[in-house]
Amino acid sequence: MKIFTCMSVGLLIIIMGVSGAEAYELGQMGAGGYGGVAIPFGWLGDRLNPGFTVGGQFLYSLEDLIPNLVTRLNFNFMSFSGDTYHTYYKYHFSDFSVYANGLYYFDLSSSFKPYAMAGFGFDIVHIEWDYKGYDHYDDHDTDVGRGFMAGGGIEFKPSETIGVFSELYFHTSTYAAGAGFGDFVVKLVVGFSYYFNVN
């Protein structure tokens, strides 16, 4: 059900991209922020409820070298809580990550510009758990992992310097605390970008 909902929203985002008015050029440099929902799957999904994600980004266009390609550096935080085994175990999971992404914008000659994206980076993960069964104990662990993300989005530019966007993508990372590349988070976010220079 969670996968179907995410795919449905993602399809709606892409369909919106076929309608629009005037075209625009990508900004040369930019910065912005975003926030939204994060849904865990696999090892994470068995222990955690849907949570939230927020972040910031810096962008640089490679339009002169590769048309429609933008590089982006993301700083992201996400947080979840949950319980298992009839609430005997309670978990809290937080993740701070830094990722380098590539965004390829599809030129539809429209104010709405869909794009595909992928990237690699590092995650600093902190997990806390509390067991309240026959013996009560709690513990925590912090680790650094490497990860991958991929997905798509659409940006609308009401002016040359302002962009508003929505993205749907998955984020996976591996670290010693338990999860691996088979465990991932699907994120649906909305945000804005401010372009310092325009072509």
115 vs 156: CA distance, rounded Å: 11
Q: List, for residues 68-107, the tens digit of each pLDDT value.
A: 899 999 999 999 887 765 556 677 888 999 999 999 998 6
Residue 30 has pLDDT above 80, yes or no: yes
> What is the pTM for the complete model shown?
0.77
* pLDDT confidence tier of residue 24, bands split at 50, 70 and 90: very low
Range 2-198 has CATH code 2.40.160.20: yes
Report which of 166, 128, 162, 146 is spatially closest to residue 17, judged by C-alpha positions: 166
pLDDT at res. 199: 52
Q: By the 8 A CB rule, do 181 and 172 touch?
A: yes
Q: By the 8 A CB rule, do 152 and 14 touch?
A: yes
Count of other CB atoms within 10 angstroms of residue 106: 14
Q: Where are the domains of the chain?
A: 2-198
Tell me what the pLDDT averaged over the chain comes to: 78
* pLDDT confidence tier of residue 25, bands split at 50, 70 and 90: low
* Angle at alpha carbon of residue 62, lines to 61 and 65, rounded to 5°: 160
139: Cβ–Cβ under 8 A, 6 or more apart, which residues?
128, 129
HSE-up of 81 (CA within 13 Å, CB side)? 3
Count of other CB atoms within 10 angstroms of residue 72: 19
* pLDDT confidence tier of residue 20, bands split at 50, 70 and 90: very low
Q: List, for residues 125-177, the tens digit of each pLDDT value.
A: 888 777 765 665 656 678 888 889 999 999 998 888 899 999 999 988 776 45
pLDDT at res. 2: 47
